[in-house]
Amino acid sequence: MDKQSAEKRVKELHDVLNQYNYEYHVLDKPSVPDSEYDQLLRELIELEDQFPDLKTSDSPSERVGGSILESFEKVEHRTPMLSLGNAFNEEDLRDFDRRVRQSVGDDFSYVCELKIDGLAVSLRYEDGVFVQGATRGDGTIGEDITSNLKTIRSIPLKISEPISFEVRGEAFMPKGSFEALNKVKEEKEEEPFANPRNAAAGSLRQLDPKIAASRNLDIFLYALADVGDTGIESHSEGLDRLERLGFKTNQERRRCATIEEVIEFVEGWTDKRPNLPYDIDGIVIKVDALQQQQQLGTTAKSPRWAIAFKFPAEEVVTVLKDIELSIGRTGVLTPTAILDPVRVAGTTVQRASLHNEDLIREKDIKIGDHVVIKKAGDIIPEVVNVLEDKRTGEEQEFKMPTHCPECDSELVRLEGEVALRCINPKCPAQIREGLIHFVSRNAMNIDGLGEKVISQLFREKLIEDVADLYRLEREQLLQLERMGEKSVDNLLEAIEASKENSLEKLLFGLGVRHVGAKAAKTLAQQFHSMEKLMTVSKDELTDINEIGEKMAAAIVAYFDNEEVKELIEELKEAGVNLEYKGPKPVKVSEVDSYFAGKTVVLTGKIEVLSRNEAKDKIEMLGGKVTGSVSKKTDLVIAGEDAGSKLAKANELNIEVWDEDKLMEELNR
């Protein structure tokens, strides 16, 4: 085919593929089978390979993902992407309505929309062509994820009018895509995503767009960032205009004349939301008229003309089929409810911790009971209560064992504890769980050594303690089931790389009782080497501000153990680093920073930085980050969806910053 014929055919393929794509992903009314679409797309890609200058940025071939990026560039939003204030009950909604009426009078209406649980993004078009897409970031500056957003097939790469504007939307992962993705992860023995929101965010922040393309993401557009001279006078008109331009908007929206209609809409979707093919976590309520929105204005963080009603934790009923017992790395016996699979807050739940025997007795839980399940904080499944009226008489009372289910040692209840504990130091369950903890992300972070692989290695007697991990040989691993050459090589590389970790990672991984990740870092910063730490006295330890009597005693006892000394020597011989590699602890007197000497609490979703990154930066500037709010707290950083900690801070009149203020101070 000559160049002229190819150019004509490429244009034809653009038009037909865009039309088929729109029918399938926006209208949900495909007119051709997938095989025909795929065949035409392959033809287009072949022509573009043959004539590279015919490939344009709005080509349907962009949907499959391009080359791997080195990093994401920063993007400044022309119009800030503000977060919304929250309402949690009818009273909050009526307060919002009262504030609106005080400002604009009684002649106005609302638009209610489903609050999609995904990742807020901004899309910019120039002359009708999609040129840039970005994350919300801190509301002012986000990250350029254009290549990944092009793989979402419901985003038009070219619209029907040659106009330049910016639109806002929520990218998300449908429930079906989420379940398929986690099934693949489980087959690869990888950590599954906790929920579709995390999966969507993780997919859009991949440097390889082909990964995003494989995840089958979707989007709903919910606003024009700037209506300009379009003549649009209301939010609802803007949504209608977006539809006419070929964008996908959510059809489950309603214009409401009164707050009573708003409340009716909210209550209806509180019950119906489990039936949707995607997750929602609330309802967004906006004043419809743009002139009235402008009159109401915004605060530094959120518009006064909109609010997000957040659903209460979803509760569902299922059957408790059994209670399973497990021994943790510290010997604690934990009962776990085995449930009929049920979908709660976006994921399928089959297990829920029952914590201890006292809780089972307190809630009168029996095997065979119908129970109410919810996710604490929309994350951790828990049994709320038993439905006694559904009992048939066939339910069985559960009795805790007297001996360890793994090693048959007698279980004990230590003074002051509610948990039963196996105190046999050679209990195989404790050893196995200790190994799993050692390789975990916050410890030595050995990629590829998940729970299943550790259990397999332990079962095959290839490892008995953590030092054995550094003695594993390629030929041994290749003999194991589902261990191919590539996976074995990757695993050995990850084990080798872990030898370079800083001391605090190793110290936390060893699982010294009462020593968490924060205390491990404090100890590593204070003593710099494992050699020094192994010789310190209890008094030297308690002189450190964050180390109490109980922790100090546990550390001294741990390093007095001859088996521990032998283990450390074996790790040293294997080449594992035993020195602290991080920055030196900051002395408050040496720091010219607002945070110096202050106690800070982080709460809610921090979007620009991870929680650990924010904590590290504050501590580098002389601050102390703690997990709970008290009278000793100087400052609370409240991200999106901040809850009880923010309420307590307000109650105690503690200074509260939003994420924008935090970033401003950190960037000084």
Q: Convert the pLDDT of each residue in 604-635 to its tens digit.
A: 877 777 777 788 788 888 888 887 788 889 99
Active-site hit among 3, 115, 426, 565:
115
Q: State how far the alpha carbon of 217 is from the alpha carbons of 66, 149, 456, 462, in Å.
A: 16, 9, 35, 41
Q: State how far the alpha carbon of 48 is from the alpha carbons of 40, 43, 59, 280, in Å.
A: 12, 9, 10, 40
Q: What pLDDT does residue 417 have?
A: 74
Greatest mean pLDDT among 189-203, 323-337, 536-550 lies in 323-337
Give yes or no for residue 548 having a pLDDT over 70.
yes
pLDDT digits (tens, 9 = 90+) for 102-119: 999 999 999 999 999 899
CATH H superfamily, domain 3-64: Helix hairpin bin (1.10.287.610)
Banded model confidence at residue 589, pLDDT cuts 50, 70, 90: low
pLDDT digits (tens, 9 = 90+) for 206-225: 888 888 888 899 999 999 98
Q: What pLDDT does residue 584 have?
A: 67
User: Where, residue-wise, is CATH 3.30.470.30 in the chain?
Assistant: 86-259+275-310
Count, residues in the chain: 668
As beta bridge partners, residue 655 has 635
CB neighbours of residue 76 within 10 Å:
10
| Binding-site residues from annotation for Zn(2+) | 404, 407, 422, 427
Give the whole-angstrom CA distance, residue 293 versus residue 454: 57
Give the whole-angstrom CA distance, residue 282 versus residue 263: 12
The CATH-assigned architecture of domain 428-573 is Orthogonal Bundle (1.10)
Give yes or no for residue 588 having a pLDDT over 60.
no
DSSP 127: T
Alpha-carbon dihedral angle through residues 206, 209, 212, 216, given to the nearest 10 degrees: 170
Give yes or no for residue 554 having a pLDDT over 80.
yes
DSSP 142: E
pLDDT digits (tens, 9 = 90+) for 510-528: 988 889 888 898 899 889 9
Packing angle of the helix pair 3-25, 34-50 (nearest 10 deg): 150
Q: Is residue 115 flagged as an active site residue?
A: yes
Question: Quick one: 51 exposed, middle or buried, by C-beta within 10 A (0-12, 13-18, 19+)?
Answer: middle
Identify whether the C-beta of residue 628 lies closer than 8 Å to the C-beta of residue 601: yes
User: Where, residue-wise, is CATH 3.40.50.10190 in the chain?
Assistant: 588-666
CATH code of domain 316-412: 2.40.50.140
Q: CA angle at residue 493 from 490 to 498, to 5 degrees?
A: 125
Q: What pLDDT does residue 189 have?
A: 64
Give the pLDDT mean for 340-361.
85
User: Where, residue-wise, is CATH 1.10.150.20 in the chain?
Assistant: 428-573
Amino acid at 291: Q
Q: What pLDDT does residue 41 have?
A: 81
Q: Which residue has the higher pLDDT, 641 or 303?
A: 303
Give the pLDDT mean for 326-354.
87
Greatest mean pLDDT among 187-201, 309-323, 473-487, 494-508 lies in 494-508
User: Where, residue-wise, is CATH 2.40.50.140 in the chain?
Assistant: 316-412
Give yes or no for residue 309 having a pLDDT over 90.
yes
Q: What pLDDT does residue 304 have?
A: 93
Q: What pLDDT does residue 367 have?
A: 96
Q: What pLDDT does residue 574 have?
A: 95
DSSP string for 311-356:
PPPP-EEEEEEEEEEEE-TT-BEEEEEEEEEEEETTEEEEEEE--S
**CA nearest to 463, candidates 434, 488, 443:** 434
| Binding-site residues from annotation | 34-38, 83-84, 113, 136, 170, 286, 310, 404, 407, 422, 427
| Binding-site residues from annotation for NAD(+) | 34-38, 83-84, 113, 136, 170, 286, 310
Q: Which residue has the higher pLDDT, 23 or 496?
A: 496
The fold of the 86-259+275-310 domain, in CATH, is D-amino Acid Aminotransferase; Chain A, domain 1 (3.30.470)
Identify whether the C-beta of residue 40 lies closer than 8 Å to the C-beta of residue 13: yes
The CATH-assigned architecture of domain 588-666 is 3-Layer(aba) Sandwich (3.40)
Give the pLDDT mean for 370-395.
86
Give yes or no for residue 228 having a pLDDT over 80.
no
Give the whole-angstrom CA distance, residue 607 versus residue 611: 9
Give yes or no for residue 73 having a pLDDT over 80.
yes
